[in-house]
Structure 1
């Protein structure tokens, strides 16, 4: 560094000696002065004093120039150091900014990736939201279907409970009828044996009696028996109005007095045959009126009026009735509908069968059975019929083949009054 500085100073001094500075071209005056100075130097060789003064002036001038130059060099160095320092700071700032820029570019890339990921996540969330909405709709439909199924099951359970109760009642009725028939069979057999014994007694009495008169008909009283010659008091069978009667005849009354007669009961009773079976051939949906029937299969005893739907009991006794029909509902938005049939006796309901229908749209072609079976004790003249009290969009389904709705009944046993 010092070596370069001496070289620079030497160059400057040389330029000064020759009247030039580095980077400056000498002016015309400076060239003339330098030339004058040199010429003067040549002419003053004979004058040493003047030459010395001139040299001294030159040296002073050189010293001043060197001092100024040193000052300028020092200033230039300071400025150079300042600019170098600024350049280094600038370089550091440039490097820092470059790093910042690279970081920002990296963050920008990461932000773009994050934005892209968020867009994908947003799309996934939208799809998930749509899927959840669809799932909620499906759950709502499933819940509605479950409610419908629950209502169906409740209706079915109620129908099954009702059917079970009806079957239990029918079973009890069948057991009662069976027991009654067994008792009736036993009683009939006992009566038959008793009748056979009485017939044998009558035959024996007839052979021992003094038969003197023939009245030309079956004896209908103790008086008739007396007319044909019976004189021994006892039990006899006589012909009543519609059946054979067992009577006690007391032939000990005085002559001319009527024979004492006591009714014991009936023997060999033949119940009047009562049986009917009617059918429908048309749909029916009226309410609170007896159901009429278009076809009569049998009506023994003439007790059933098919046109009015009413049965009139001809005699006092126990009757059995059975009704079977198919019910159908028209299409409707109603969640629950009902249809029933009721068995009436003299205007009072005695039995019911009911159908509850759920979701008529889904089951618009579905038919369900309605069944009634019961035994009733009727007086002569009592009236029995079947009618609907609840319709609610339903009707009895039938067609021309009459295989859907039937009503039948028959006399199980005629009740016979006995007296002693």
Structure 2
């Protein structure tokens, strides 16, 4: 009986040890399995973290690029805003300028002369495009540049370019003699009319009458004949008279001539005349006895005596 109990106890102990071993072995395998699973989970998490990190880096770069573009766009918008503000200011100033100009034009419209005397008058007459215009000056027509983008108070609103050669009556003449003149102190008449535009030169009276006030030019070239032989001095003097007052003269002399001789004389003059003033030539002196005179030959087309003149610049003051 005792042996049986010992054997039974031994069997129970063996069974208990085996069971413990089996259970221990089962627990280790499970733990290893769980460790593998946990490692796999950690590895998966690491991969996900790495992927998230890459996505984060990519997103950060994308955001940085977007920030750079936004900053550049913001700067452009700021520049555009400044430019638009400048344009708006310029438009406002231009509007004020045009408003002021229109007000000035309205103020002067009733008093504007038919013929403009300034760029302001030109503007009041309806011209709005800047450019060169003709205006009436003190004594002549002037060419000016009108800048209508500026106010009338601006010194560059009107800039003078120069004078325009405007004549209400074109006046110029050229006449000649074909006969000799031997009478002193009387106007020298002329027989040949080459040019007489304006009709201011009267050939029969020998007098030029100024049709308009202004600056005139005159020139005379003549031939004096001295009948010889002569041992004494002989002379001829031709005068230019302005309303009867001598303003110039041409003289020629000869002496100890063996026979008849000819001598040339000439004079020029530039004068400021009033309308109605008269200019003529006359012999102011010649040796008496018919030995000296202004000579021309009617039988030959030679023409030794010439008288010419023209209106250089007309004085338009008071005409408009």
TM-score (norm 2): 0.48
Higher strand residue share: 2
Q: Which has the higher contact order (CA 8 A, sep 6+)?
A: 2
Over alpha carbons, which structure has the higher Rg? Answer: 1
Q: Which structure has the highest helix share of the two?
A: 1
TM-score, normalisation: structure 1: 0.37
